[in-house]
Amino acid sequence: MSGPFSFRVLERDPATAARRGRITTAHGSIETPAFMPVGTAGTVKGMTPEELESLDFEMLLANTYHLALRPGEEVVRRLGGLHRFMGWGRALLTDSGGFQVLSLAALRTVTDDGVTFRSHLDGSLLSMTPERSMQIQSSLGADIVMAFDDCPALPSPRPRIVEAVRRTSLWARRSRAALAGSGQALFGIVQGGDDPELRETSAREITDIGFDGYAIGGVSVGESAERSRAVVARTAPLLPQERPRYLMGMGTPADLVEMVALGCDLFDCVLPTRNARNGTLFTPEGRLSIKRKEFADDPRPIDPGCACPVCGRFSRAYLRHLYLAGEILSMRLNTLHNLHHYAALMRRARAAIDAGRYADFLSAFRSRWTDARPSPGDLVDGPIAEGAEALRGGRARRTFAGERSE
Amino acid sequence: MSGPFSFRVLERDPATAARRGRITTAHGSIETPAFMPVGTAGTVKGMTPEELESLDFEMLLANTYHLALRPGEEVVRRLGGLHRFMGWGRALLTDSGGFQVLSLAALRTVTDDGVTFRSHLDGSLLSMTPERSMQIQSSLGADIVMAFDDCPALPSPRPRIVEAVRRTSLWARRSRAALAGSGQALFGIVQGGDDPELRETSAREITDIGFDGYAIGGVSVGESAERSRAVVARTAPLLPQERPRYLMGMGTPADLVEMVALGCDLFDCVLPTRNARNGTLFTPEGRLSIKRKEFADDPRPIDPGCACPVCGRFSRAYLRHLYLAGEILSMRLNTLHNLHHYAALMRRARAAIDAGRYADFLSAFRSRWTDARPSPGDLVDGPIAEGAEALRGGRARRTFAGERSE
């Protein structure tokens, strides 16, 4: 359905592990490092495909679990596949649903066969296996599909992580066998929690099977940002140089810039879109909460240095008004600004690598960026009440279910 | 603040009372007959100013009552007026708030001085008088402002309508005196319920005072569409030929096309935008409910004859999916389609008058259009629970509070 896939490293930064690359697919190429906006239900919330194109995004992520539940992958297939269904002519990547069935669905049971769970929409009893995930992803027809993995939250007891590593390799082999002949690129996922030895085991087993690209999974699943980054620092070098490396579901601006320096090529996160709907906007200095009283009369744009259409036309005062009035346009404009911010950040990161100056870019970013830890409100929206409750309980830790789909 | 206002009749249809005109304001001209999308809180729900420009709308309506409550007209004034606040460079018209304080606010008391009421936002006790309405509208700085009127629902006892006619004339004089020197155009409003004699009295008194334009108020306030149209048929000919005639808050496609034939020049209604958010889409044949099961697999656009960006890119199946998933993009795309439909309809109506063939246009429209009465769901959204309850009670009648702001 999708056809030719390739990846080429174009430049390597002399002082960091950052690299510039290009992924080629039947739906166009993706300059890496790249951020993929999350289009959970076949739409990046509030945005049209035209807008995402105008922001220069070259690949979106869509969620297999959500689309299989609604509208159902057979509907999508009959309508010509996900690209056509959602009116997006550029590249698509679908996740495997593994993360969602473990985090969103209720009453799940995990065995070596697969996961049985209840739909978060209507409570019906369903199951997901590597074969079923590949069948769904093949019907959706994304350019890149992900192997079905077992992704436990952190912290988890070591035996649970050992089991997840073993099962992820087992499922990776079954995923590869099941997808054969679809013409789609398949990425394997490395698990191993925050245990360096288990990460090594998983990386070795997954790369031994052999995939078109490799993802670091099992991060941003409950642990601190510092711990996530430490896991990536250990895992990225274990992955083949000549294949794209995709860091799953982790994505504050600082995460992106830091993880590019460790050699990651692809990113996704709901943060820019979800934060936008919650009134939290990104600037080079950090986050700005548009609801604050001090903005009631503020004629300035969100970020005076920003070239986005929102900053060109609307004041903080107007954006605050729209937010307080619960207007749809608030979510739209905030999302447009945040995605523009992410796109521009990645564009600058790529230019810095091209120029062989990524270390300078990184230190300039660090000197400007100050970010409070995410507040619980930043991360909650939709069916993740459990994670939200945990957050409200006190510790500033990441949600498990919150950042991969919305 | 706004400056030069003029109106010129360019063409008259030979067989109907339809006329082509041009309103000129400091923020550009408006080709009439024209439909104004409703931007209640300083935004047409879900749309950017750019989109409204690209749809060729030349004037928007904003609601004085809502903007005075939030963010407050002084905030808007300090930020340079409503055009600048909402990023809209073309013409604006503000209503007087008279309709909203009578329909949305609670615990209202109406005397000759004005209306006291409780805010629908926080319950605070407020009052609105002609002078206060003009003060707010002057701060907002729209090109056209409306006199403060007394607009009773239908049916109302005759003495109540007599009182409203008398009070509307009293308030019209006070409105004119209060607005003097603002440079804004002021339109008077004719009341009189469904009583031909009272309509004549009101039209005579209001035109005797003298305004830049005249509105037919007190329609679409509870009576049937047929009765509304009968009131317009009697009232429009009583208004001066050389001034624009604005029919307030009435606007199915059939209303527009029929009322243009009676000589109305300006229209506003929340129907295209509110219906859109409820999943009801306009086609030349009538309304289409996108939620219907039969569209689950339907690859066709909403309206194969439509040139809008939504019909060019998205299937009914995708739009149904977005609606069922509660996606923001559903409201956006549906609104874009419906507003495009309204804009195209008015464009064709103007071309028909220019060609001297409005009667043909009208009969072609009638032969194609079949419209069921609005369902209760079409008309409810937001703080109009009272009207919604009345509708659910059974009779298919118009809401009182529902179609002027949202």
Q: What is the mean pLDDT of residues A11-16?
A: 98
Start-to-end C-alpha separation, chain B: 27
Residue A332 and residue B46: Cβ atoms within 8 Å? yes
The candidate with the shortest Cα–Cα distance to A29, out of A185, A139, A180, A147, is A185
Using a CB–CB cut-off of 8 Å, the residues of B that contact A are 41-43, 45-50, 70-71, 75, 78-80, 85-87, 296-297, 299, 309, 313-315, 317-318, 320-322, 324-325, 327-329, 331-333
Helix (H, G, I), strand (E, B) or coil at B349: helix
Reported ipTM: the value is 0.93
The torsion angles phi and psi of B275, rounded to 5 degrees, stand at -55, -40
What pairs with residue A61 in β-bridges?
A38, A93
The set of residues, in sequence order, having a beta carbon less than 8 Å from that of A302 and lying 6+ positions away, is A281, A283, A288, A290, A310, A311, A316, A319, A337
Provide the shortest C-alpha distance from residue B287 to chain A (in Å).
23
Q: Report the catalytic residues of A.
A: 95, 268
What is the average pLDDT value for chain A, to the nearest integer? 92
Q: Report the catalytic residues of B.
A: 95, 268
Chain A's closest residue to B88, CA to CA, is A313
**Distance (Å, whole) CA A269 – CA A402:** 9
Interaxial angle between packed helices B328-354 and B358-368, expressed in degrees from 0 to 180 and rounded to the nearest 10? 140
pLDDT number for residue A390: 29
**Distance (Å, whole) CA B62 – CA B142:** 9
The set of residues, in sequence order, having a beta carbon less than 8 Å from that of A159 and lying 6+ positions away, is none
Residue B327 and residue A297: Cβ atoms within 8 Å? no
**Distance (Å, whole) CA B115 – CA B304:** 49
The 10 Å Cβ neighbour count of residue B195 is 18
CB B5 within 8 A of CB B144: yes
**Distance (Å, whole) CA A242 – CA B126:** 69
Chain A's closest residue to B121, CA to CA, is A325
**Distance (Å, whole) CA A26 – CA A91:** 8
Residue-wise pLDDT for A246-289, tens only, equals: 999 999 999 999 999 999 999 999 999 999 999 999 999 999 99
- pLDDT tier for residue A145 given thresholds of 50, 70 and 90: very high
**Distance (Å, whole) CA A206 – CA A173:** 9
Please count the helices (runs of H) and the strands (runs of E) in chain A. Answer: 17, 16
Q: What is the mean pLDDT of residues A291-316?
A: 98
Residue A314 and residue B87: Cβ atoms within 8 Å? yes
The 10 Å Cβ neighbour count of residue A150 is 26
Cα-trace Rg, chain B: 20
**Distance (Å, whole) CA B228 – CA B155:** 12
**Distance (Å, whole) CA A232 – CA B122:** 50
pLDDT number for residue B376: 43
Residue A299 and residue B41: Cβ atoms within 8 Å? no
Q: What is the pTM of this model?
A: 0.93
Residue B45 and residue A327: Cβ atoms within 8 Å? yes
Q: What is the mean pLDDT of residues A221-232?
A: 94
Q: What is the mean pLDDT of residues A358-367?
A: 98
Q: What is the mean pLDDT of residues A324-343?
A: 98
Chain B's closest residue to A79, CA to CA, is B299
pLDDT tens across the length of chain B (406 residues): 445 899 999 999 999 999 999 999 999 999 999 999 999 999 999 999 999 999 999 999 999 999 999 999 999 999 999 999 999 999 999 999 988 888 877 778 999 999 999 988 888 899 999 999 999 999 999 999 999 999 999 999 999 999 999 999 999 999 999 999 999 999 999 999 999 999 999 999 999 999 999 999 999 999 999 999 999 999 999 999 999 999 999 999 999 999 999 999 999 999 999 999 999 999 999 999 999 999 999 999 999 999 999 999 999 999 999 999 999 999 999 999 999 999 999 999 999 999 999 999 999 999 999 976 554 444 433 322 222 332 333 333 344 555 788 8
The set of residues, in sequence order, having a beta carbon less than 8 Å from that of A9 and lying 6+ positions away, is A19, A20, A21, A241, A242
pLDDT number for residue A268: 98
- Cα separation values, A36 from A44, A163, A219, A259, B91, Å: 10, 30, 17, 15, 39
Q: How many CA atoms lie within 13 A of B148 on its CB side?
A: 32
Give Cα B151 distance to the centre of its chain. Answer: 15
pLDDT number for residue A295: 98
**Distance (Å, whole) CA A186 – CA B3:** 64
